[in-house]
Amino acid sequence: MQFPKLAMSTLMIASAFSFVACSKQDANQKSSDEAITATTSATGEASTLPENNAHQRLMQTLQANFDKAGLKAKILNIRNTEIANMYWVTLEGFPAVLATADGKYIFQGDVIRLGDKQIHHVSEDLQAADNKAKFAALNPKDLIIYPAQGKAKHIIYVFTDSSCPYCHKFHEHMVEMNQKGIEVRYIAWPRGEQYFPTMQSIWCSEDRKAAFDQSVSGIPVQAAQCDNPVLAQYQLGMNIGVNGTPAVYNADGKYLGGYIEPADLLKRLNEK
């Protein structure tokens, strides 16, 4: 499920987690109505072809270039960005990339728009919009949910692994977070193949919360096998760029950080 090493150097996420998290490596030791063709250069003028045709041609060209380079990436969707001749490309099993209109260049990382008093994170907003839709499509029955005490002020989605020490530290603050009006929704994200059985056992347990607590305490969890969403949730994390746990997102799909103490978490959630 990974690009070759050379390809990964092209597609790897530009910035590491800004906040403390258990990494997978540790576990494993211009405007929206403009239309351009897939053959237009990155600095060329837009054509008059319908937008859907432009997207289709870019998809075909980019997919062919992926295949030629030996990159096993399937394009799921292409949409316009505010940057002329640049498109946001969603991939299956990999984080999204920005691609030039000619399908020759792709990159990941933080694209920033200047000109205002505050900088604007273009790629971050594009990714957050994708994340928000994916989170909204999750079935609550497939998650481990810790409701807020009283009326929920915020909902967060947290990719977690019961073997991760920083996930343990985050989990220790659960009562405090709930008291602050934060509903926590856990998504399974085993950091390595060796951790899948435990996470699947937790998700197959009749009482997932108790099983998660037990695993965090270092006590093995035994559960009958069942159809479970752990692999699908892991794939979701790969699709949106998760590379360590905990990975905390707000309901709008914005990445907030790794391990965050409750007061700091609430401050970030209250920021507009």
Which positions are annotated as active-site residues? 161, 164, 167, 191
Distance CA 47, CA 166 (A): 51
Question: To 5 degrees, how large is the angle CA 139–CA 184–CA 192?
Answer: 75
Rounded Cα gap, residues 159 and 236, in angstroms: 10
Residues 156 and 233: their CA atoms lie apart, in Å, by 15
Q: CB of 167 within 8 A of CB of 173?
A: no
Helix axes 196-204, 208-216, angle to 10 degrees: 150
The Cα–Cα gap between 211 and 216 comes to: 9
Q: Is the separation of the CB atoms in 89 and 106 below 8 Å?
A: yes
Residues in the chain: 272
Host H or E run for residue 80? strand 74-80
Helices of type H across the chain:
5-11, 24-28, 51-69, 122-136, 165-172, 174-179, 196-204, 208-216, 230-240, 262-270
